[in-house]
Structure 1
């Protein structure tokens, strides 16, 4: 079995468009939630979102390419460009068929779908763009990144709603661990802050309707009432340890475990007993070769919805027993909003950087205790603490659960 390490990272997020700016915001407890600017919200009950700000796609694309690239793919390619530059190599020394790309999206090119369908209704089928299909299909981010760098190994796009990019990272980890690849570019991207998308999520009562930016995304707070839609992309370069060491790569953290399960329960609600999520966490720390009490920190899925936060708390208690009461748990969605298919990847970056720097991010905005969410959610602010193992949870509509276990890197 091979050891797998993170040697490159890139982030386009609502609180920073580089890994450094993003993580500085995480440490300072800064959120990216604000009134929606991408469309007129006059007729919408939802006024807030966590939009990406200060993103200049012309840093990554020429104007012709940009016209043919949906926003979700722009985020993916930009984050991948950062990650590959950050890792310090394009792996020319390796067989290109040993370098994979596993990058997913929960929805794909939603802006393109909306724009081209409106064009179809107004002007007829002949006016639909010839680029409509390749711009909107979810796998195009993985394909585009591979084409940019000539990486010809395993290449696909998991689609498991909010668990998408955690599954992508987990499968990339396994591909390297079991010897099918030497390096994999992995993660996720999402750009679903559109009028049509927000209407759909809102009508199923999933979104927060508050207009108070500081009390909108409030995971584990008793007054939580829905998630805040976010957008962005996050990409990690995973690499086999010996290759990384041989080239003198910097190493952020090691990935040591992955658990993937299904609730087989409901389209949108998690299992009330948390059995699937608990099992995913157990599988992740068991593969890591540790017992439950060795896990120091959980980056929770923590969406700020009534059911998720309650049932995830139940799942953590089930997976960790008495140790649940001493675990540090936080939801960085309190700052980023919910990036859907990109959430797991942006939160993997949080875990890697937290292990590296010896800190635990806060759950910001928390004010009102909930007797059903009674664990340590790090609500007092950033906590400085040396941590050895961290778990990141992602739980998607359809009952898809993914947990990743990260370890502080030690040679």
Structure 2
């Protein structure tokens, strides 16, 4: 009898748990008295949760296919969500400050993402294949490839620190609601994106196909590839109001000729790099040309009307520089410096009027000087290099970092001419370049 009662209870309980609606089941108690007990079943959970930061959690809603991040502080890099299903929407809640590297890279075809205005940093490869995204004003740093395959980007604030290729290589449209200091860098990997200005944006304006600051003193970007076509050349004329041309402003654009406005003093790194520019008209106020500003162009000759500080690789070695000033105030530019098999090989651009060049190598507090009439030297490394030299450094746009690991050697060059009694009269030292293995 006891065994029969036990089986009756077990069977009744099993049936109750398999039903989708509440029901009443008789349970035989050991006293033999029958009572009615209500058993309620529940559907499987519609949410999956987990941690994605020291103080951040994620919650995935199966019904809406929404992934929500909540909590405070930074997300971890590389959080995996392999057990989640399709994600149609991503929501970054208030309190999150940093969206981690590879945060959502595993999700393809996400319709949209909402980012709260507490976020200040978006790290590399954070998002993939978004149809649209709005970046709030609070975001200051967007790392390389933070967005891959994004369709439309609305930037609500100033683009102060968007790194090289921050918006990936497939973005179709960018709408600006603030200034655009690093727009060129952010779009350096993109071919022919559409850049628009929000109606209420009074931080930027357009002139001569250039996206300018509201005061006209800064060129941020080449707003269109519809340049002025003159005698077979696509010519860009920088307005006279402009003082600074920002980094990568015209990077990899179809430009044959550049005419600087009369007040341009600074051309930042990569400004015209990898363009087919074959003619450059400078001015008498130009003071600074950044690294790789005209790297891999079609320039062969450039006339400088002032004493210009040229960062490493500002021009290619094939470019012949001519200064309208005296040789004493003239400079050339270092284009490469490499260390291999205990040999140092350095190259620089030719300066018209120079009889030769003095090359200076500094390492470990010591200085070594060499003379050459060519635009390169190849010498045996001094004794200070007897230990293994492992410094690697790149000035290229996709690999540049200001951080140098190890103890580097630096190389610079200055021109000279011969005056009375074979005495040398020197020009100015170029900016130094890092010797790299």
TM-score, L = length of structure 2 = 0.25
Please tell me whether Structure 1 or Structure 2 has the larger radius of gyration of its CA atoms.
2
In proportion to residue count, which structure has more helix?
A: 1
Name which structure has the greater RCO, CA cutoff 8 Å, separation 6+.
1
TM-score, L = length of structure 1 = 0.26
